[in-house]
Every structure is written in C-alpha cells, then in structure tokens.
Amino acid sequence: MTDYSIYRVMIENALDAFFLTKPDGTILDVNAAASSMFGYSLEEFKVIGRQGIIDIDSPGLNAFLEERRKKGKVICELIGIKKNGERFPIWVSSVIFKQDEQEEKTFTIIQDITERKRKEQELRTSEANMRMILDNTDELFIIIDRNLKVINFNKATEVKSQQLLGVPFEKGKSILDSAQPERVPLLKQLYADVLNGAVRKSVVEIPAIHGNSKVVVDIRYSPIYEDGLIVGAIINVRDITETKAKEEELLRTNERFFFAAKATNDAIWDWDIQNDKVFRVGDGLQSMFGYDKSIAAQDDTFWIQRVHPEDLDDMISKREKILYHTNELYWEDEYRFRKSDDTYAHVFDKGYIIRDANGTPVRMIGATQDVSQQKETEALLVELNNRLKRRAEELANSNIELERFAYIASHDLQEPLRMVTSFLQLLKKRYVEKLDETADQYIAFAVDGAERMKTLIMDLLDYSRVGSNTEPNENVDLNILIEEVKGVFSKTIDESKAHITVGPLPIVKGNRTQLLQLFQNLIGNAIKYQKDESPVIQISCTEQEEEYLFEIKDNGIGIDPAFHEKIFVIFHRLHSRSEYTGTGIGLAICKKIVERHNGKIWVKSMPGQGSSFFFTLGKR
Ligand code: ADP
C-alpha cells in the first residue's frame, strides 16, 4: 500500500467530512462522512459543487474566502445545507495547495457542530437563568478563588452587603479585607477547611449599623469543584433577622403558654382536629387525674376511652354539632371522666375552636377542670337548702298550730275563767270577814291569780289574732292614731307626768287595729319601764326610699344589750311582776305586726340610759 492509500483509508474512516475542490468550488472528491453529513453521493456533489452545500448567506463567508485567498488557509464557522434543505452549523477548515505543476486545489474539512452549538446555547441559557436567579434573590452569593480573592458576586451582594455585613465587597480583593478584624483568624481557619472540601455554616449577629437594629445573618460556605478539584468557594449570606425575631417571639409565646399552663391546675390540651392528634401541656392531667402526659400522648383515643360510657355519646354529639354544624368559636361541656384510680371525676371541659377560611375546624385548644368538689358542694347546698325549706315549712306549720292553740286555749279558757272569777267574787262578797284571816288571804290570792290569768289570756288572744287577722289594708294617719293612743293612756300620763312629743308622722297603708296595738304597746312600755323620773318620750319618723323608719325613745331604765333580741320572744320578761307588771307578750306582738307590714323592729339601749325602739314600715 502506498503512502497515498494509507491516507485514503484514514480519510475514508474519519468522522469529519473531507472535500477536495477546485478553487471555483467544483467538488472533485469527498469521503464517506461527507456523504452521510450532507446526504449527497460523490456524483451529486460533483454536480452541485461547493455552492450547493454552503449557505451563501453564512455570516463571515466572504471573510472566509478572502482570508483563504490571502493566507492559503482558514478556519471558520459557516452554515451548511443538507440535501433535504436543512441548514446546520459547520466548522470549516480549508487549505489551498498546489502539487508540482498541477492546478491549485483546496482541501476542506467540515465538522457538524450542531450538537456543540446546542450545548453552548444550553449553557448560555442556563448561565443566564442562573444569573437571573442570583440577581433576583435577596440572598448574597460571593465567589472566591483558592487565594480567597473575590471573583464575582450577585446584585444582592452589591446592594446589601454594606447593610447586612457592614462592609462592601470588591472584585479582586481578598475576602478577608472585608471581614471584621477580630474574626479574621477564625475565618482563615474556616476557609482553609472549606477549600479542603468542608461545608461550613454559621449564624452571625451583626450589631446595629447606622441606626438599624441588629441584624442576624446565616452564612454558608461551600467549596466549588471544577473537574474534581476545588477551585474556590461560594459564600451564601441570608438575612434571617426577621425569622429569628419570629422564632424568638414564638419561643416566648410558647414559654408564656407553658407557664400559663403551669400556673393553672387545669389539664391543658391542643387538638389538631384534622390529624386527630392531641398535644397536652401542664401538670393538670397528672395532678387532677393521675395520668402521665407522655403515656396519654401515645394513644389517640386516650381521652375518649375514659369518658363515662353514659356521657360519651352525648358529649361527642354535642361537640360534633358545635364543630361541624355551627360557626361557633367556643365549645364547653360537663361530663364524667375516669381517673387513674378508676373513680370518676366530674369535669368541666372548654375549648377555643380555630377554623380555616372555609369555617372548617382545624384545631381546638382547651382546658379541662375537675369540678367534682364544686359538684359535691353544689349537691350539698341543694340538700341543705331542701332541709332548710323543710324546716321552715315545719316551723311555719308549728307557728300556725301554736297560734291556733293560743287562740283556742285563750278563747275557750275565757268561759271557765269567767266562771272561776265570778264565783270567787261571790265568795269574797259573802264570806270575807266571816272566815278567819288566812281564808281571807287565800281568797285574795285566788282573785289576783284569776285576774292575772285573764290578762294573760287576753294578751295571748291578741297575739294569736295578729296572725289570723284578714282585715284589708287602709290608709292610716298615724298623727290621729297617736292621739288615740294618748287617749288610752291619759290617766297614766297624768299620774306619771309623762311628757310625750310627737314629730310629724306619715299616713301609711296598713292594718289600723294592729298599728294602734303596735304604738300602744311601745308607748305603754316607755311609760311603764321608768324608775323615779317622769317619763319623757319622743316619737319621730324619717322617710326613706322604700320605707318609713320610726323611733320611740324614752328616758327609762334601759335594757342590757345581752337581752336586745330576747325581749321580742314571747313570754320573755326581764323583771319580776312585783317590779313591773306584764305578761311578756307585748313586744312579741309588736314584732309580729311589724313583720306583717314588711318591716323590722329592734332596740338600741343601755341600762340606765333610756331605750330607743326602732321599727320600719314598708311604704307599699
Ligand atoms: P311586758 O312588758 O309585758 O313584760 P314586753 O314584751 O312588752 O312584755 O316586754 C318584754 C320585756 O322587755 C319587758 O319585760 C321589759 O323588761 C323589757 N322592756 C320592754 N320595753 C322596755 C322599755 N321601754 N324600757 C326598758 N325595758 C323594756
């Protein structure tokens, strides 16, 4: 094989297209790659020539031809045309040569660079995209080489590095030039690590610059590889001031929530409704019900399982109704809950419902309270109340019975008493001084006893009548009424030289007979309970919003405070009959009358300093 034929084999097997042409463009020879690149056979190439396979509009075609003419060779990118008309980028290397006396020929190698072009374009696009992303992000990206020299950075770095890091960056300068001096040793170590393949992260707090509040940045340092070698590093800076502040606020809120949960004895819960997960806080679950929070957390049905079977359906249906059939934001219920010792606690459970924009409940946060004690106290109170009611009824009944008894006794006793009295009078009339002295004395005792019995019976009758009196209320002018009372006592008043002053008194609505008796008893006592002086009695009235307040003040013997209440009890007396006559019924009657007129009665007094009896009468 000649040298020539070796080249021929090489050319025939090459991947690039080979062309042998005359200077006018006539194609003399091609290799197989040329045919498969353009789609023409050698014969066809010979017919169409160079003009048929190179686009005459290829930019740079003229320059190509001129340079080849001048220098004898050229390399250039042109546009090729395939047999099917498709145009494609080609890389053309062409040389003019002359062998011996033969005419000039050109030898041209053409490479299809469609694929390379496509890749280049792709790279350009992806680079542009990258650049766009980098320039549109808020994050800072700085690229440095192995000598820590700043190679490139994005727009955000240009705009914000001063504000975020307190320093500007300059291409070509060492990254350490823009670091705070005290951080330089640390950074040197860090970059050394990164350039050895490590990825480093750090969160740095930059103190306030130019009046801004402090800035927190998250910095990442990563090595840049090229063909498996580390050629530099990329530094990525993120402003996390706001995130950090939010995190801290969240932490504080959580902390507050935690402490609030601790401060209350309630069992606090947070129910993620959609995932049906419950998160529990505070010690309430343990202290009230004896359960460990972590154990409860392991079982999604922990709570439901422990609600009293009799209360469960009701509790769930009420809760579902509020959650899914209303827009309410609060839920509350009371039910029984089984404690760890298997006894049931009465709980009051309440929650705040968080809904999404559609109103669907997504979360409910609440607190459970053990109200067993309250429940017991409530039940006890109800029981006590019932007992009190029963007792009051019993008392009322016994009062009615007492009144009835007093009435019957006093009424029915009158007749036999009258008989005893009249026969005693007869006995006295006929036999006085006819029997011996002792007999006379006995008769006198008997007459006296009968007299006393009579007053007692009359007083008792009065007392019992207050309760059974059904006279309708009328307007009573108390000024007139007092004159009447004074008339009743005129003899005693004269004898004792009593001085009675009466302030202006109102007209009240009430039972006239009873009001007369009330004033009569009180004025009577004021005259009666005197030592040696003449009684001085002041009767006055003050009008109040809902009632009248009356005062009957005397200058008499006074009453020890120990007896201020007792004197209003029937038959209660402080003196012997020999000192002051009386039955001990008067004030009991007064109390009853005042109470029937919606009022109260009481006394202010000290022994030896006179007494003031106060009572009120309702205006209506
Ligand atoms: P009586 O006067 O028949 O004993 P009361 O019920 O009217 O019964 O009075 C009860 C007691 O209150 C009297 O025994 C007397 O000790 C005391 N008392 C009543 N009014 C006065 C008064 N104005 N001053 C001092 N003590 C009085």
Written as one string, the DSSP assignment of 493-510 is HHHHT-EEEE----EEEE
The residues facing 206 across adjacent strands are: 215
3-state secondary structure of 212: coil
Q: What is the distance between the alpha carbons of residues 495 and 430, in angstroms, rounded to a whole number?
A: 34
Based on the fold, state whether residues 558 and 587 are members of the same structural domain: yes
Query: For 489-495, what is the mean pLDDT?
Result: 92
279-305 mean pLDDT:
86
Give the angle 317-320-322 at the CA atoms, nearest 5°. Answer: 110
Given a cut of 60, whether residue 421 has pLDDT beyond it is yes
- How would you label 401-419 residue by residue, b for 16+ Cβ within 10 Å and e otherwise? eebeebbeebeebeeebee
Nearest to 400 by CA among 592, 618, 599: 592
Percentage of residues of the chain with pLDDT beyond 70: 98
pTM over 0.75: no
The domain boundary, picked from 239, 263, 287, lies at 239
Ligand 1 centroid to 552 CA: how many Å?
Answer: 13
**Which of 62, 89, 118 is the last residue in one of the domains?**
118
> Same structural domain for residues 363 and 388?
no
For residue 2, pLDDT over 60 is answered with: no
**Strand 547-553 with 536-543, pairing:** antiparallel
Does 71 lie in the same domain as 162? no
Which of 559, 601, 606 to mutate for ligand 1's pocket (most ligand atoms within 8 Å of CB)? Answer: 559
The angle that helices 512-528 and 437-468 make with each other, rounded to 10 degrees, is 140
Taking CA atoms, 554 is separated from 96, 490, 578, 593, 614, in Å, by 155, 17, 22, 21, 12
Task: Give the rounded distance of the alpha carbon of 22 from its chain centre.
Answer: 95
- Cα angle: 601, vertex 602, 604; to 5 degrees: 150
Instruction: Select from 152, 164, 130, 123 the least CA-distant residue to 232.
Output: 152
| Residue 166 in this model has a pLDDT that exceeds 70 | yes
Domain end residue (candidates: 453, 487, 512): 453
Distance 573 CA to ligand 1 centre (A): 7
- Between CA 353 and CA 616 the distance in angstroms is 55
Q: Are 523 and 500 in contact (CB under 8 A)?
A: yes
Give a yes or no: residue 129 inside a domain.
Answer: no
Q: Is pLDDT above 70 for 516? A: yes
Residue 614: give its domain's CATH number: 3.30.565.10
**Cβ contacts of 265 within 8 Å, gap of 6 or more:** 283, 284, 287, 288, 369
Report the DSSP beta bridge partners of residue 201.
220
Kindly report the number of other CB atoms within 10 A of residue 182's CB atom: 7
The answer on pLDDT for 454 being more than 50 is: yes
What number does the ligand 1 atom closest to the CA of 587 have? Answer: 6
| DSSP assigned state of 322 | H
CA distance 345 to 370: 6
Q: Are residues 35 and 156 in the same domain?
A: no
With a Cβ cut-off of 6 Å, ligand 1 is lined by 521, 525-526, 529, 554, 556-557, 559, 567, 572-575, 582-588, 611
pLDDT for residue 604: 97
Considering the domain architecture, whether residues 180 and 317 belong to the same structural domain is answered as no
pLDDT at 212 over 70: no
CA distance 221 to 188: 12
- Give me ligand 1 centre to Cα 456, in Å: 15
Residue 295 within any structural domain of the chain: yes
C-alpha 220/C-alpha 233 separation (Å) is 10
Assess whether pLDDT exceeds 60 at residue 299.
Answer: yes
Q: Cβ contacts of residue 453 below 8 Å, gap of 6+?
A: 413, 417
Q: Is the pLDDT of residue 350 over 90?
A: yes
* Dihedral sign of CA atoms 301, 302, 304, 309 in order: positive
Q: What is the pLDDT of residue 261?
A: 72
- Kindly state whether residues 217 and 261 are assigned to the same domain: no
pLDDT value, residue 133: 84
Is the pLDDT assigned to residue 312 strictly greater than 80? yes
Please give the Cα distance from 364 to 456 (Å, whole number). Answer: 76
In the 8-state DSSP scheme, what is residue 213? P
Residue 586 Cα to ligand 1 midpoint, Å, equals 8
- Distance of alpha carbon 396 from alpha carbon 403, whole angstroms: 10
The pLDDT of residue 602 is above 70: yes
The CATH number of the domain holding residue 151 is 3.30.450.20
CA distances in angstroms from 373 to 286, 341, 421, listed in the order given: 17, 17, 67
Q: Are residues 359 and 437 in the same domain?
A: no
Distance CA 604, CA 606 (A): 7
pLDDT band with cut points at 50, 70 and 90 for residue 4: low
- For residue 528, the enclosing domain spans 469-618
pLDDT mean over 263-276: 85
Q: Per-residue confidence at 1, pLDDT binned at 50, 70, 90?
A: very low
pLDDT, tens digit, for every residue of 134-147?
Answer: 888 889 999 999 99
Asked if 255 contacts 263 with a C-beta cutoff of 8 angstroms, the reply is no
In this structure, which residue's CA is closest to atom 20 in ligand 1? Answer: 525
Residues 162 and 177 in one domain: yes
Query: Residue range 285-296: average pLDDT?
Result: 88
Shared domain for 355 and 381, answered yes or no, is no
Backbone φ and ψ of 100, nearest 5°: 50, -125
The residue ranking higher by pLDDT, 340 or 262, is 340
461 domain-assigned: no
pLDDT tier for residue 197 given thresholds of 50, 70 and 90: very high
559: CA distance to ligand 1 center in Å? Answer: 9
Res. 432: pLDDT tops 80: no
Q: Can you tell me the mean pLDDT for 599-606?
A: 96
Weakest-pLDDT range from 104-113, 278-287, 394-403, 595-604: 394-403
Query: Looking at residue 211, what is its pLDDT?
Result: 59
* Number of structural domains in the chain: 5
- Structural tokens at position 132: 């766009």
Note whether residue 52 is domain-resident: yes
The verdict on residue 232 lying in a domain is yes
Atom of ligand 1 nearest to the CA of 610: 24
Longest dimension (CA), the chain: 208
Question: Could you tell me if 449 and 479 lie in one domain?
Answer: no
Closest by CA to 237, choosing from 167, 316, 292, is 167
Q: Which residues contact 280 (CB under 8 A, 6 or more apart)?
A: 267, 268, 269, 270, 293, 296, 297
Two tokens at 345?
A: 């606690």
The mean of the pLDDT values for the chain is 88
CB of 25 within 8 A of CB of 45? Answer: no
Query: What is the CB neighbour count within 10 angstroms for residue 466?
Result: 21
How many angstroms is it from 525 CA to the middle of ligand 1?
6
- Pairwise CA distance, residues 216 & 525, whole Å: 93
Q: Does residue 479 form part of some domain?
A: yes
Closest CA to 326 of 362, 361, 352, 367: 361
Nearest-atom index, ligand 1, CA of 556: 24
Same domain, 590 and 474: yes
Question: Which pLDDT score, from 0 to 100, does residue 297 have?
Answer: 82
Q: DSSP letter at 209?
A: -
The tokens describing 23, both together, are: 């200077």
Q: Is 530 domain-assigned? A: yes
Residue bearing the CA closest to ligand 1, atom 12: 567
261 and 227 belong to one structural domain: no
Query: Contact, 600 vs 518, CB < 8 A?
Result: no
**Tens of pLDDT, residues 116-165:** 999 989 989 888 888 888 888 889 999 999 999 999 898 888 888 877 77
**Separation of CA 404 and ligand 1 centre (Å):** 25
Which tokens belong to 211? 């009046």
* Residue located nearest, by CA, to atom 13 of ligand 1: 573
pLDDT at 578: 82
Task: State the distance between the two ends of the chain, measured CA to CA, in whole angstroms.
Answer: 147
